[in-house]
Amino acid sequence: MAGYETYDRQQVYKQAYDRFMNMAVPPCTKCGSTQTASVQVGVVWVTIQLAATCPKVKLIPNGPKPGNWFCKSCSHFFDVPAEPEKGVPA
């Protein structure tokens, strides 16, 4: 039987932060800016910490999401097609 791995908060945060920072983000569909972020829903410690420190995360407190992506330049929420495992087109 497989055991449970124990992670402390810093490990969980670091793994999530690294995943977001290495993620390809699409340009805004409205203004073309590359200053965009993945929209995340929920207010728990890890999402709050990520939203405060990671430029590729936009936190909203409640769903549904107005879009999967957010432009930090023009404040536009938008969606683009993505393929699982590949992310968004560059």
Mean of pLDDT over the chain: 86
Angle (CA) 67 60 44, round 5°: 130
**Is residue 86 situated within a structural domain?**
no
> Is residue 38 a part of any domain in this protein?
yes
Cα of first residue to Cα of last residue in the chain, in angstroms, is 41
Cis bond leading into 64, ω under 30°?
Answer: yes
Per-residue pLDDT at 55: 95
**Which residues, at least 6 apart from 12, have a Cβ–Cβ distance to it below 8 Å?**
46
Mean per-residue pLDDT, 45-68: 92
Q: In this predicted model, what pLDDT tens digit does every residue of 7-40 receive, in sequence order?
A: 688 888 999 999 999 999 999 999 999 999 999 9
Residue 1 lies in a domain: no
Residue 60 in any domain: the answer is yes
Is 53 within the bounds of a domain?
yes
Which pLDDT value is given to residue 49? Answer: 92
Q: What gap in Å lies between CA 56 and CA 14, rounded to an integer?
A: 14
